[in-house]
Chains A and B, each alone.
Chain A
Amino acid sequence: MQLAVLVIYLAALITPWLFVQHQHRTAYIMALVPAVLTIWFATHIPLVAGGEVLIHEYQWIPGLDISLTMVLDGLSLMFALLICGIGTLIVLYAGAYLKGNPAQNRFLVILLAFMGSMLGLVLADNLITLFVFWELTSITSYMLIGFNHQSAEARKAALQGLIVTVAGGLALLCGLVMLASIAGSYSIQEILGSSEALTEHPLFVGMLICLLLGAFTKSAQFPFHFWLPNAMAAPTPVSAYLHSATMVKAGIYLLARLQPELGESGLWTILLSSFGAMTMLTGAFMAVRSTDLKKLLAYSTIMALGTLTLLIGIGTETAMIAFAAYLLAHSLYKGALFMLAGIVDHEAGSRDVTLLGGLRKNLPLTAILVAVAALSLAGIPPLFGFVAKELLLESMLGGAFHSFIYVFVMVASIFVVTVASVIALRPFFGTFKAPKEKEKIHEPPIAMLAGPVVLVFLSLVAGIIPGTVGSWVTLPASTAVAGGVVEGYLALWHGLNLPLLLSGISIAVGLVLFKYWDAFRSRLQVLDPIIARGPERGYFWFMDAIVWVAEWQTRILQNGSMRNYLRTIVLVFVGLTGYTLLTRYQLHWNWDVNLYFHELVTVGILVAAAIAACITHSRLGSVAAMGAVGFSVALIFILFSAPDLGITQILVETLTVILLVLVLFRLPSFSNISTTRERIRDAIVALLVGVLIMFLIMITIDVQLFEPISGYMIENSYTLAHGRNIVNVILVDYRALDTLGEIFVLALAAMGVYAMIKFNPATSPGSNHYAGTLILGEKKLAEKDIIHSLEEIHQKMLEDQNIISAGAMKDRNDNDDDDEDDSPNSSYDEDRDHDDSQAAKRKAEEHDDDAENEDKEGKKS
């Protein structure tokens, strides 16, 4: 069985190569693959019908309990047959439908990939493997819905389908993990029988909700049904295959799989039957409102999916029998109807029933096929749809339910009859109407008709010999769903009973409704505003909310201002560390500090210099103040008997001051871009850090828990390392690797500075100015608003805050220069003076950049 799945994937892989040679005929070759598989699966029918369960084991990631083991029982087999059987017909159909489309090869690849995934899904025994295939069907479905990817509509529909099913899929993953952790196994076969442990577990409700979210989104149950009609943007073969016959039934499949384990619970019954009934009604009601053939079919699919959920919810033996029969019947007639709708669209040029009429003369075979399939849809004997519908009504009456479910089912049955009549009669009878000319409309090629013919034929045959179909195909499936042998049979004639009567009533009323369909539809328009507020609004609201929250958050967090970033990080540091200090450690330290006078003086100088560096408006002044800070620190080192450190510090500090003074003249004028309030705020933040660090040092200064390793270093410095200077020995021997690293750091810094100074950017500065500043979407600025230099930014800000009037800035700058910029710099000032031209400004700007960064480099090293 693993091979079966693999073969399909391989077929998908080689399709592009075949396509080069065979063009659209590739599809006909590819159809062989599922065809052979159908036969292969069909040969297992007798075995499985005999009650056997085939298990093929295969390991995947045993460490995570993930295996590729596959199991074939009645339910899997029925699905496998549908997937491969209908798959064969769809591939054939697609070959003709997309003939001449250059992207047909891609279509086939994805379609086959989907087929493999779907087959894997229904065969997988491992919950995670099932999920893997589950998600693969979502992704391939996305690719197929968006097949016409240049149309924005198709992209939107594809995204919607994907988001809804994947959101559900994630809930499902959570549910599956919970299920496995409660049941103690990831194998479905092993979970079987742990029903009691599951339903009584405290996490049962949460788990059930997660699982149902997954199944309901996938199978388009109310209130998640809205994505399915939109998915009709996909080419018709996709609608026929994924969105009616197979993929949307994956959720149903999962529910059926879990029915034996979870079916005991009352909550399961209530949730499934109420959501099923609601979906059924919604689907039927929306179908009656629609005029687009594919939408009609899509909504009636939703109705059918609701019915299936309801049947699983009812959970009686009859319901299980009805479930399998209904599922088979639906796949047969709905697949056919979709393909036929595609033919009508393809040939007549429209899918809107109000624009079509009288096509039976041009498309006689299509008309007949539609009629028969529609009979099955409406549940009229002797078609298989009738058998299924009888069983549905019977199990409904057998279940212990509130009467509203009866009403729902009856209303849905009536509407379905109407819908079936619309599909069967409207396009084909009455006066001729079609967007295309009458002469150009003719029956499609045989490949397109093959699918519907086969499916309609099967509907008919199954209806005539329901007993055989039942015992071979559907009853084994029912057995698997029920978790035990099901006694029952399928028959066309159950005798005169209540179900038959209800059936009759629904057909009669449905036909009457069809007669007044147009009037009925226009009456229903009253409800449009309510429908517009349906669950789909929720989806759009969710998508908008994401974007809104995202933008809001970006504005708050990543707003481009470096000062905000710094402040946030520093505050987090202070807050978190301070909090830990206060809560986890009883503050106590040795207050017994002896200060000598000369120490106090040094500290005084240090503090005063630091404050001076912060408040001065002169660049040179601040450099001098920083130098004073550095030298004071050096003094402290010396006072505490670390002369090596002191000397190093003095050297570094001297060098830094010299370098800074050297580059001062290249810096732009000193500007004060903070308001007083901001400065006070920043000062408080800075003080907080200082205080915190002070506390930390005060606390740890005399806490020495262990003997430091320096003792060893001192002892062995001369004996082992042959050096008398312990600092040197540490640097070049004990910790030589650190020194090596630092040497490279210096080399790197040198390279960086070199590149910065010498590199001529490919684009002129300012061309991409906002890239770094604002993380929000690029703003469109008028030429006059584009800022090319720091001065301009500054000026703009002052103007914005009404501090100065426009244009006043330049004078101020010049004044500043005179007052504060001590270093003479003729060339720079000349540039500034003639700076009415943009080009000159840019040039000056380049200078600024280099100098600024050089400054930073200098400080760092």
Chain B
Amino acid sequence: MSFEVALPILIPLLTGALCVMFWRYNAIQRALSLVGSFALLATSIWLMISVYNDGHVVMYMGNWEAPFGITLVADMLSAIMVVLTGMMAVAIAIYSLSSASPSHERFGYYPLMHLLLAGVAGSFLTGDIFNLYVWFEVMLIASFALLILGGERAQMEGAVKYVTLNLLSSAIFLSAIGLLYGLVGTLNMADIAVKLGEAENAGLIDVIAVMFLIAFGIKAAAFPLFFWLPASYHTGPVAVSALFAGLLTKVGVYALFRVFTLIFNQNVDFTHEILLWMAGFTMLTGVLGAAAQFEFRRILSFHIVSQIGYMILGLALFTPLALIGGVFYIMHHIIVKTNLFLISGITHRLLGTYDLKKLGGIYKSRPFLSILFLIPALSLAGVPPLSGFFAKFIIIRAGVEADAWVITGIALLVGLLTLYSMIKIWAEVFWKKLPKGQDDTALVEGKTSASTVVLYIPVVLLAVCTLFIGLNGQPIYEFAEYSAAQLLNPQGYIDAVLGGAQ
């Protein structure tokens, strides 16, 4: 049995459940959360090593052989995603020690957080399309409950938009699963892939593919389906925003990568053309949305949308290099984006606001924090030699080699506008003098306390990751290359799941 593929789901589920049992004991919950996160990271690395050695790690739930029961499968892409989930879990767990208010803790902050992680890990590891739906639901309800913690009016408003639009996605997803099951009579993704490969009714398959595309497009916050993201991400507690920013949309992107390489790979001309358009508009509208904003977290939220475009672009071009680029981009983006949100939390702690116009003066009194911001910010904008540059470079190179000039041009322009946004934050929050009338006691006189140090730890760790990817990209590139090779050759996945019998 390959337990390592089930553990990244079971550990957060268990942690969450245990935290519920200790509902009234915040200290125990904190400790559990920390232990659970580290355990998740450890098992995810174990899984990664197994995948690296064996190619695919498969486990049949209840020992029902595929395609009859539910199968958990990890290929390189899943493993990468799970490791990143583990990393984010650790970062957020540490950060939350200082950032989560006791009142949030009393209302299930930690259990919700870990059940969310279970949903995320489950989505990455399942090999069953309906099971994917279930994990999406776990994720959705957990994230909704986290978003409304605090119960402020703005949160409610954001959360209601969030949950409604995502439920719409679920409805479309479920309809698509129903139709698909009607056609092929199976839910196992590998089995579906095999059967669709033999099927004749190509037109109908395209229709279902488009439905999946829209359902996952909403989850991934692609154009023109992204509205829920900028409406809600800036409203929750900052650690929650950071976790969402890093992981949630990437689950949608992962799902797109999974189904559009494994299942719907027959009519690439049609489906991936739609993806290409989607990618272009997502990049552009996202970055332009950010340009109109003057709120730290809203700018970052819009940039998530824009960066999702790059990832989808990697999938849409559908060349080996482009897929490598897409996977590389996901890895880089999760780390960087989470970090930026965490930093916004620190500035909020210092100055009590997210409003760019009211912030200022941080470079002068907090040079270390400023550098910590510059690393992910410039990386996001694709400035070399940080991780974002190599991610962007691979995509651009794939675009040039595929003669996709318009989209390459858009990708470059969006890079410039991203830099513009990041520099706007830099100039307003860090360089500018603190506007008159702002309370700067925490900024000027604030001493380094244990609680501040706790906030800095994950930020520093993530910044180091960004630097590491930038300065030593070869291993990361190899991971991406490995996973892209697997994605482009789904037969390996199918054989691993179905045991090569079919």
Interface of A with B (CB < 8 Å)? 59-64, 66, 106, 128, 131-132, 135-136, 139, 142, 146, 149-150, 152, 155, 159, 162-163, 166-167, 170-171, 173-174, 177-178, 181, 206, 546-547, 549-551, 553-554, 557-558, 560, 562, 564-566, 568-570, 572-573, 576-577, 580-581, 584-586, 693, 696-697, 699-701, 703-710, 712-713, 716, 733-738, 740-742, 744-745, 747-749, 751-752, 754-756, 758-763, 765-773, 775-778, 849, 853, 856, 860
For the residues of B in contact with A, the DSSP-based class is helix
Contact B137 A741 (CB under 8 A): yes
**B141 at interface, CB cutoff 8 A:** yes
State which of B135, B207, B288 has its C-beta within 8 Å of the C-beta of A696: B207
Contact B175 A693 (CB under 8 A): yes
Contact B412 A174 (CB under 8 A): yes
**B294 at interface, CB cutoff 8 A:** yes
* Residues B289-303 near A (CB distance < 8 A): 289-295, 298
* Residues B111-136 near A (CB distance < 8 A): 111-112, 115, 118-119, 122, 126, 130-131, 134-135
Contact A741 B131 (CB under 8 A): yes
Q: A565-B228, A577-B210, A584-B206 known; A736 and B144 CB under 8 Å?
A: no
Q: A170-B415, A706-B184, A741-B135 known; A572 and B224 CB under 8 Å?
A: yes
Query: Which chain B residues border A558 with CB–CB below 8 Å?
Result: 227, 230-231, 289
Q: A155-B431, A705-B195, A752-B141 known; A174 and B408 CB under 8 Å?
A: yes
Contact A568 B227 (CB under 8 A): yes
State which of A554, A700, A707 has its C-beta within 8 Å of the C-beta of B292: A554
What is the CA–CA distance of A155 and B385 in the complex, to the nearest angstrom? 24
**B497 at interface, CB cutoff 8 A:** no
For the residues of A in contact with B, the DSSP-based class is helix
Question: Nearest Cβ distance between residue A842 and chain B, in whole angstroms?
Answer: 10
* Residues B54-83 near A (CB distance < 8 A): 61-62, 64, 67-70
Query: Which chain A residues border B441 with CB–CB below 8 Å?
Result: none
Query: Which chain B residues border A744 with CB–CB below 8 Å?
Result: 13, 16, 115, 118, 138
Which residue of chain A has the shortest Cβ distance to B227 in the bound complex? A565
Question: Nearest Cβ distance between residue A15 and chain B, in whole angstroms?
Answer: 12
Contact A735 B145 (CB under 8 A): no
Question: Nearest Cβ distance between residue B180 and chain A, in whole angstroms?
Answer: 9
What is the CA–CA distance of A558 and B292 in the complex, to the nearest angstrom? 11
Query: Which chain A residues border B209 with CB–CB below 8 Å?
Result: 580
**B97 at interface, CB cutoff 8 A:** no
**B330 at interface, CB cutoff 8 A:** no
Query: Which chain A residues border B112 with CB–CB below 8 Å?
Result: 748, 751-752
Contact A64 B131 (CB under 8 A): no
Seed contacts A155-B427, A705-B183; 20 additional CB < 8 Å A-B pairs: A64-B393, A64-B473, A106-B367, A149-B430, A181-B397, A554-B292, A565-B161, A580-B210, A585-B206, A708-B186, A709-B67, A733-B62, A737-B61, A737-B62, A748-B142, A759-B103, A762-B150, A766-B153, A768-B152, A772-B235
Contact A560 B20 (CB under 8 A): no
Query: Which chain A residues border B292 with CB–CB below 8 Å?
Result: 547, 550-551, 553-554, 775-777
State which of B153, B290, B291, B408 has its C-beta within 8 Å of the C-beta of A765: B153
Complex A-B: 25 CB contacts under 8 Å: A150-B364, A155-B431, A162-B419, A166-B416, A167-B416, A170-B416, A557-B224, A568-B224, A569-B218, A570-B168, A580-B210, A584-B270, A585-B204, A697-B179, A700-B204, A703-B183, A705-B185, A734-B64, A734-B70, A737-B70, A738-B70, A742-B137, A760-B151, A767-B152, A770-B154
Which residue of chain A has the shortest Cβ distance to B13 in the bound complex? A744
Q: Which residue of A132, A710, A763 has the most chain B CB atoms within 10 A of its CB atom?
A: A132
State which of B64, B134, B144, B154 has its C-beta within 8 Å of the C-beta of A772: B154
**B334 at interface, CB cutoff 8 A:** no
**B53 at interface, CB cutoff 8 A:** no
**B38 at interface, CB cutoff 8 A:** no
- Among B244-252, B453-461, B474-482, the one that faces the other chain is B474-482
**B420 at interface, CB cutoff 8 A:** yes
Contact A735 B210 (CB under 8 A): no
What is the CA–CA distance of A650 and B207 in the complex, to the nearest angstrom? 33
**B100 at interface, CB cutoff 8 A:** no
Query: Which chain A residues border B268 with CB–CB below 8 Å?
Result: none
Q: Which residue of B62, B183, B211, B384 has the most chain A CB atoms within 10 A of its CB atom?
A: B384
* Residues B167-224 near A (CB distance < 8 A): 167-168, 172, 175, 179, 181-188, 191, 195, 199-204, 206-207, 209-211, 213-214, 218, 224
Contact A754 B107 (CB under 8 A): yes
Query: Which chain B residues border A768 with CB–CB below 8 Å?
Result: 152-154
Question: Nearest Cβ distance between residue B18 and chain A, in whole angstroms?
Answer: 13
Contact B412 A159 (CB under 8 A): no
Question: Nearest Cβ distance between residue B154 and chain A, in whole angstroms?
Answer: 4
What is the CA–CA distance of A580 and B419 in the complex, to the nearest angstrom? 37
Which residue of chain A has the shortest Cβ distance to B70 in the bound complex? A737
Contact B423 A159 (CB under 8 A): yes
Query: Which chain A residues border B481 with CB–CB below 8 Å?
Result: 63
Query: Which chain A residues border B111 with CB–CB below 8 Å?
Result: 751
Query: Which chain B residues border A701 with CB–CB below 8 Å?
Result: 182
Contact A696 B163 (CB under 8 A): no
State which of B107, B144, B181, B290 has its C-beta within 8 Å of the C-beta of A759: B107
Contact A546 B420 (CB under 8 A): yes
Contact A159 B383 (CB under 8 A): no
Contact A562 B164 (CB under 8 A): yes
Question: Nearest Cβ distance between residue B116 and chain A, in whole angstroms?
Answer: 9
Contact B274 A576 (CB under 8 A): yes
Question: Nearest Cβ distance between residue A447 and chain B, in whole angstroms?
Answer: 25
Contact B195 A706 (CB under 8 A): yes
Contact B416 A163 (CB under 8 A): yes
